[in-house]
Amino acid sequence: SAALTRRVACPDGVNTATNAACCQLFAVRDDLQQNLFHGGLCTAEAHESLRLTFHDAIAISPALESQGIFGGGGADGSIAIFSDIETAFHPNIGLDEIVELQKPFIARHNLSVADFIQFAGAIGASNCAGAPQLAAFVGRVDATQPAPDGLVPEPFHTPDQIFARLADASQGEFDEILTVWLLVAHTVAAANDVDPTVPGSPFDSTPEVWDTQFFVEVLLNGTTFPGTGNNQGEVASPIAGELRLQSDFAIARDNRSACEWQSFVDNQPKAQAMFQFVFHDLSIFGQDINSLVDCTEVVRIPTPIERFRHRLTGEDRSRSRLRSRA
């Protein structure tokens, strides 16, 4: 049956969109892919752009507001608008780099800073094979003041502290179960500053693939450290070169979240659907959804992991070798 959605022709003369407000995003996407993400790769800049979405959005606290203290504006761009202040907060260590890399893109496009940060994270993630298509909205209102310090979880925080912080920021929506869903992001992640002697130490053996290896590997027995063994927020990992966060270790084993953690093992559809769901909500913390336009259609659907894995099997490789010889 014919699609009934009426599309508008964008002024770029190439694209169409369901809402004219989305038209500008095609150029932002293509600029990001060419000039920040190395032609569309799931490497450090993509990972850091995704991490930045969390550190901007999570800085909101109804609990502080109820005490008459400004609690931050959530996904309001404050981490970049007030970067001198917020990137100096301890949990934001290292994010000064991606904030600076993103600033020229923000300057040459016409998005709010808040929209840009979430959009760059969604586009970065779309470069990771196996990732879900993450939500993209436009229309967020930018921050007029920095978020207060103390609202971004640290790897040395206990599950109690982390669960309480996420519940506060989300007004009760993100419980222990949804906290595990959020941590799917650590499948495309590495640490630069937990152990600064070994920057770029990944959390799983496939940091450029959105798979479920992270959930498997955090459950294995920890025996080694990628660098030195005395860093705050780090515990022993099972694989040479891999870094394990204390918070991931603890949440994987806490009796409130362990079953949910294990349910992700080998469950690729779940690792896509659950993160897609929590990112949608996280990415609009502090904003009014009724004044936003959904432009998710601009985010390319990532390469499925089945196809990726298929391409990598030894059988495929030898078959293609035979074919090229024939």
Q: Report the alpha-carbon distance of residue 106 to residue 52 in Å, rounded.
A: 14
Minimum gap (Å) between residue 298 Cβ and ligand HEB: 19
Total residues contacting Ca ion by CB under 5 A comes to 6
Residue 17 or 80 having the CB closest to ligand HEB: 80
Contacts of 234 (CB under 8 A, 6+ apart): 155, 191, 194, 195, 225, 243, 244, 245, 246
- Interacting span for ligand HEB (CB under 6 A) from 47-55, 104-112, 141-149, 298-306: 47-55
Residues 6+ apart with CB under 8 A from 238: 217, 220, 221, 222, 223, 224, 244
Instruction: Note whether 162 binds ligand HEB by CB under 6 A.
Output: yes
Residue 190's φ and ψ, nearest 5 degrees, are -145, 165
Catalytic residue among 55, 90, 157, 186: 55
190 contributes a contact to ligand HEB by CB under 6 A: yes
> Quick one: what does residue 139 bind among Ca ion, ligand HEB, none, with the CB cut-off 5 to 8 Å set by partner type?
none
Q: Is residue 310 annotated as a catalytic residue, yes or no?
A: no
Nearest Cα residue to 227 out of 241, 239, 217: 241
* Residue 23 binding partner per list ligand HEB, Ca ion, none, with a CB distance cut-off of 5 to 8 Å that depends on partner kind: none
Of 53, 170, 212, 276, the one binding ligand HEB by CB under 6 A: 53
Query: Could you say which of 35, 133, 192, 263 contacts ligand HEB (CB under 6 A)?
Result: 192
Residue 149 binds what, of ligand HEB, Ca ion, none (CB under 5 to 8 Å, by partner type)?
none
Interface with Ca ion in residues 206-235 (CB under 5 A): 206, 209, 211, 213
Q: Under rule CB under 6 A, how many of the chain's residues touch ligand HEB?
A: 26
Positions 177 through 206 that interact with Ca ion (CB under 5 A): 187, 204, 206
Query: Two tokens at 1?
Result: 């049956």
Q: Of 23 and 203, which CB lies nearer to ligand HEB in the complex structure?
A: 203
Nearest alpha carbon to residue 78 among 125, 148, 126, 31: 148
Report how far apart, in Å, the C-alpha atoms of 282 and of each of 109, 121, 261, 271, 289 are: 23, 12, 20, 16, 12
Answer yes or no whether residue 48 interacts with ligand HEB by CB under 6 A: yes
Q: How far is the CB of 152 from ligand HEB (least distance, A)?
A: 8
Largest CA distance in the chain: 76
Q: Would you give the binding string for ligand HEB spanning residues 94-123, x where CB under 6 A is met?
A: x-----------------------------
44 is a contact residue toward ligand HEB (CB under 6 A): yes
Among 17, 180, 191, 274, binds ligand HEB (CB under 6 A): 191
Strands 244-245 and 234-235: antiparallel
The tokens describing 100, both together, are: 């600076």
Length reported for the chain? 326
In this structure, is the dihedral angle defined by the CA atoms of residues 21, 276, 116 and 64, taken in order, positive or negative? positive
Nearest residue to 274 (alpha-carbon basis) of 157, 142, 178, 146: 178
**DSSP class per residue in 154-217:** -TTS-HHHHHHHHHHHTTT---HHHHHHHGGGGGG-EESSSSTTSTTEESSS-TTB-SSHHHHH
Interacting residue ranges for ligand HEB, rule: CB under 6 A: 44, 47-48, 50-51, 53-54, 94, 153-155, 162, 182-183, 185-186, 188-194, 233, 245, 247
Task: Give the residue numbers marked as catalytic.
Answer: 55
User: Which residues make up the interface to Ca ion (CB under 5 A)?
Assistant: 187, 204, 206, 209, 211, 213
